[in-house]
Structure 1
Amino acid sequence: MAGEGKLHIVMFPWLAFGHMIPNLELAKLLAHKGHLVSFVSTPRNIDRLPKLPQNLATLIKFVKLTLPKVEKLPENAEATSDIPYDAVQYLKEACDGLQQPLTQFLQSSHADWILYDFAPYWAGAIASKLGIKSVFYSIFNAPTLGFLGPVPVLKGDKQVRTKPIDCTVSPDWVPFPSTVAWKLFEITRVFDAFSENNSGVSDMFRFGASVENCDIVAVRSCSEFEPEWLQVLENIYRKPVFPVGQLPSMEYDVGDENDDEWRRIKNWLDKHEKGAVVYVAFGSEAKPRQNEVSQIALGLEQSELPFFWVLRIRRGPTDPEVLELPEGFEERTRERGVVWTSWAPQLKILGHDSVGGFLTHSGWTSVVEAIQNEKPLVLLTFLAEQGLNARFLEEKKMGYSIPRDDQDGSFTSDSVADSLKLVMLKEEGGVYREKIKEMKDLFVNKDRQERYVDNLLAYMEAKKNRPCRV
């Protein structure tokens, strides 16, 4: 139980590191204020999370819930990064099997609030029955949630998006001109999110029920950056919406186990001039297709820029497709490039002076980390909400997307090379380099970030011990 006047807050993110890490960042900020946080996940995921700063170790408690076995879900697969994309539906099915153990934990926890993600959409209803208030905490930003829409649309009660082409235009509940929408190739790759999968519900239904079941919504966002989109959320959700800031990543205590790897990487980066190197990484979820890897590789070669490429060649040990580089590529680029196929400390790499640009999938944590370190963005989307992020960044002149065929998503090595040189070297790409610097304070200002967390906590403290939403 939390100390007098302090809250006990339970956090339950979706089983993906792109979700768990921003949840952990918020947990650290809540704990800094003296509140007790119970961070719920599965044993293997918790063991793989970064170590906490010593001063927070007594305030953030990790709660391990054993993931039930599900047919077709590989052994030891507890996060999306452990499995190919088409097996993620089985992970959601297993996650749904955590309802009973989560209920048992909440019954004995004396929790005041629970913050839950879109996948465990049922957590809000469980909390309500137990007299615990709930927050749907979305690591997706306000433009993404605003584009996805109101509860009846998300749950399928109102049929608005029945085919992929319907997702390529701005919806009628967005009252201002916006290019935020998927390209046809982007939504075609993820349109399964609108259909019921092996778990019995669609991803969109999970979003809708998450909003419906909560007391308030918290969004990884800030009102100075996207006020019009936060207003859209207020309008369509009809309940309080709290921006919690951009949650820039703080350095973790990762111990000594990765020191050798970082030393090797740093030694290589140290050999290059300031701003010369392009860093290439697509996060823990996104895996390019083989033909895309080939074009990226040949584009890096054609650009003649030094590069450090973190390449995931497969998603987990059961992934049947192992990506390969073009024949002779590594030999031809050995003097100026590195292809790194294991975990790499992204925040440290982006913080190095020699890195002058970031070729990224547009995942929001990567975007925030780039802005933290003033690295201009070249965008190449693959999955989920990345296309929506990319459109928003394009609107703000904060990123340049590699030109692609809107229908099939194909791109050429020439377009990769030209895009990198435009953003990193050419005069006309200066707008992207300057805009990132201009936005840095908005994203990483500590006082502003504190105010967002204080505002959320003030509401949560005021509602403590009051009757829950019926």
Structure 2
Amino acid sequence: MGQKIHAFMFPWFAFGHMTPYLHLANKLAEKGHRVTFLLPKKAQKQLEHLNLFPDSIVFHPITIPHVDGLPAGAETPSDIHVSLWRFLSTAMDLTRDQMEAAVRALKPDLILFDLAHWVPEVAKEFGLKSMLYNVISATSIAHDLVPGGELGVPPPGYPSSKLLFRGHHAHALLSFSVYYKRFYYRLTTGLTNCDFISIRTCKEIEGKFCDYIARQYQKNVLLTGPMLPEPDKSKPLEERWFHWLSGFEKGSVVFCALGSQITLEKDQFQELCLGMELTGLPFLVAVTPPKGEKTIQEALPEGFEERVKGRGVVWGEWVQQPLILAHSSVGCFVSHCGFGSMWESLMSDCQIVLLPYLADQVLNTRLLTDELEVSVEVEREETGWFSKESLSVAVTSVMDKDSEIGNLVRRNHSKLKEVVVSPGLLTSYTDKFVDTLENLLNDAYLE
């Protein structure tokens, strides 16, 4: 094999997985390597603008086969309800022949994957190497995805007594258990059978969990850093938000976003709105319309819009989250603590308030709240319900200048941010990752 690598990338079809893969593809292409990126046809249009090296990164469209139970035209998890994801994962398995045909025709050196647990078999068949590139936190894998694990119960030797599920997280485990067994099997099989493991994280945040995974699977674990996109200087914050945010004092606005995959029940959505109102602070909430409602407007609590006019906006469409967080008037970020949002919150100057829904988000929340002490979590009842009062209390506890907890998490966050955004830290991760990968592959093919 020559010095230059030709890598296939085949991530799970969710945008939260495909996007960091594409950022990694850009880093490989920057170093002169080639990438063939396998993805559903429709997703290609939404990701094209992130491909910074179209001559070196080629999109290879995959046709999603028909599966009973999967709505026609559905290609990504954001097209369907979480309860139907299992049908999409079945469809992914049925694309194996398309993957094999592409490997046969294009002869890559390496295949990167996450949930398609059969990729190592395909790689071995063709004499290639496979790498499981994991884009959820090392914390989640260490807690739930090591051999012999059990849902919600950390395995022996797990390196933290703080990162555990609590009673009020039962709702998250329940929501996860629908596809947990399938998910667990896929990841543990992939981790066991692949040649190399890599994780989208850095040791400054999750070092002991990465070491634990390396010991469990007896493989090197390569880290890529958080793989966030380079800020696009050509696309400033939309005028409407820039103008609106600029009307408030520095650090006074609460920004709440719960990601594209979380759709609240109407009563919980209304409680969220009322909790924001109760803080008395200016706020911008960006969430999808609640279940059963076509628009945000028709789901708002009665009289709400009039009461918060001029200081509060609830928005039902996509917003430029990193640019909003970077605006000087935003002082608090209320988030579901998905892994991408977790990194964005750490790199911002905002106070962090967390409202997790899925199991991995709960573990990310424990990492930030209990292990690193840089955030607070909104208190919930055993049923998973949070009240407007508990949301308001969490937000005001970090926004009050005299609050002890607010000052503690601000100090800790500030120190950690300094480390994470220190010049060269993220580039050094990707440089080291690419160098190590080149050496591993050269050694493997010389054997």
The TM-score normalised by the length of structure 1 is 0.87
C-alpha displacement of 1:176: 4.6
Query: What is the Cα deviation at residue 252 of structure 1?
Result: 4.3
Other-structure match for 1:402: 378
Output the amino acid matched with 2:188. Answer: G
Alignment-derived partner of residue 24 in structure 1: 22
SS in structure 1 of the partner of residue 424 of structure 2: helix
Q: Does the 8 A contact of 2:145 with 2:184 survive in 1?
A: no
1:265: how far off?
A: 1.5
1:123-272 correspondence to structure 2 within 5 Å: 123-151=119-147, 153=148, 161=150, 167=152, 169-181=153-165, 183-195=169-181, 202-252=182-232, 262-272=238-248
Residue number in structure 1 paired with 2:95: 98
1-structure distance, mates of 2:204, 2:163: 20
8 Å contact 2:278–2:389 — kept in the other structure? Answer: yes
How many Å apart are 1:437 and its aligned residue?
2.1
* SS of alignment partner, residue 248 of structure 2: coil
Query: Residues 56-92 of structure 1, C-alpha deviation per residue, up to 9 Å, x if partnerless?
Result: 2222221111111222222322111111111111111
CA offset at residue 46 of structure 1? 1.4
Distance 1:275 1:127 in 2: 51
Structure 1 contact 149–173 (Cα < 8 Å) conserved: no
Counterpart residue identity of residue 435, structure 2 = A
Q: Which amino acid aligns with 2:180?
A: F
Higher relative contact order (CA 8 A, sep 6+): 1
Instruction: Report deviation, 1:175.
Output: 4.6
Structure 2 unaligned residues grouped into runs of 5+? none
Shift of 1:463: 3.2
CA–CA separation in structure 2 for the residues paired with 1:13 and 1:326: 40
Matched residue pairs, number?
439
Aligned equivalents of 1:50, 1:305: Cα separation in 2: 38
- Provide the rounded CA distance (Å) in 2 between the counterparts of 1:203 and 1:7: 30
Say if 1:225 and 1:442, in contact at 8 Å, map to a contact too.
no
Q: Does 1:110 align with 2:87?
A: no
Structure 1 segments of 4 or more deviating over 3 A? 252-255, 319-323, 465-468
Q: 2: distance between equivalents of 1:52 and 1:339?
A: 28
C-alpha distance in 1 between matches for 2:51 and 2:63: 25
Match of 1:327 in 2: 302
Counterparts of 2:311 and 2:292, CA distance in 1: 31
Asked whether the 8 Å contact 1:39–1:60 carries over to 2, the reply is yes
- Measured at CA, do residues 77 and 334 of structure 1 come closer, stay the same or move farther in structure 2, by a change above 3 Å? farther
1:120 aligns with one of 116, 123, 146 = 116
Match of 2:324 among 326, 342, 349: 349
Distance verdict in 2 for CA 1:452–1:52, change over 3 Å: same
Q: 1:356 to 1:436 in 2, by over 3 A?
A: same
Q: CA deviation at 1:98?
A: 1.1
Please give the per-residue CA displacement for 1:427-452, whole angstroms capped at 9, x wherever unaligned: 32112222222212433345222232
- Give the counterpart letter for 1:33 in structure 2: K
Which residue pairs with 1:157 in the alignment?
none
> Structure 2 vs 1, CA of residues 444 and 74 (structure 1 numbering), >3 Å: closer, same or farther?
farther
1:188 is matched by which residue type in structure 2? L
Once residues 254 and 222 of structure 1 are traced to their aligned partners in structure 2, the CA distance between those partners, rounded to angstroms, is: 28
The one-letter code of the counterpart of 2:408 is V
Matches within 5 A, 1:412-423: 412-423=387-398
Verify: 1:12 aligned to 2:17, yes or no: no
8 A contact 2:36–2:58 mirrored in 1: yes
Give structure 1 stretches of 5+ with no counterpart: 154-159, 196-201
Aligned residue type for 2:368: L
CA distance, structure 1, for counterparts of residue 359 and residue 79 of structure 2: 17
Please, what is the CA RMSD of the aligned residues? 2.4
Identify which range, 451-460 or 376-385, moves more after superposition. 451-460
Is the 2:201–2:226 contact (alpha carbons within 8 Å) kept by the matching residues of 1?
Answer: yes
In 1, Cα distance between equivalents of 2:383 and 2:252: 32
- Asked whether the equivalents of residues 361 and 379 of structure 1 are also in contact (C-alpha less than 8 Å), the reply is yes
For the structure 1 residues 273 and 452, does the alpha-carbon distance in structure 2 shift closer, same or farther, using more than 3 Å as the test? same
Instruction: Identify if the C-alpha distance between structure 1 residues 149 and 120 changes in structure 2 by more than 3 Å, giving closer, same or farther.
Output: closer
Correspondence list, 1:258-337, <5 A: 262-313=238-289, 320=292, 324-337=299-312
Q: Aligned match of 2:358 in 359, 383, 394?
A: 383
**1:412-432 deviation per Cα after TM superposition (whole angstroms, max 9, x unaligned):** 111111111111224321122
Aligned counterpart for 1:63 among listed residues 60, 63, 72:
60
> Secondary structure in 2 aligned to 1:397?
coil
- Distance in 1 between residues matched to 2:90 and 2:400, nearest whole Å: 47
| Cα drift, residue 321 of structure 1 | 6.0
Amino-acid identity (%): 31
2: CA distance, partners of 1:441 / 1:113: 35
Q: Would you say the 8 A contact 2:120–2:190 is kept in 1?
A: yes
Tell me how far 1:150 sits from its aligned partner. Answer: 2.2
Partners of 2:140 and 2:231 in 1: how far apart? 27
Match of 1:456 among 402, 423, 433: 433
21-30 vs 358-367, which moves further: 21-30
How many angstroms apart in 1 are the aligned matches of 2:390 and 2:159?
A: 34
Secondary structure of the 1:81 match is helix
What CA distance in whole angstroms lies between the structure 2 residues aligned with 1:403 and 1:40? 41
SS of residue in 1 equivalent to 2:205: coil
Q: Say if 1:335 and 1:176 are closer, same or farther in 2 by CA, change over 3 A.
A: closer
Report the AA paired with residue 211 of structure 1: L
The residue type paired with residue 11 of structure 1 is M
How far off is 1:320 after superposition?
4.9
2:408 pairs with 427, 431, 435, which one? 431
Q: Distance in 1 between matches of 2:259 and 2:289?
A: 12
- TM-score, normalised on structure 2? 0.92
1:138 to partner: Cα distance: 0.6
Q: Which moved more, 1:330-339 or 1:346-355?
A: 330-339
Name the CA distance, whole Å, in 2 between partners of 1:86 and 1:219. 27
Instruction: Look up the equivalent residue of 1:21 and give its one-letter code.
Output: T
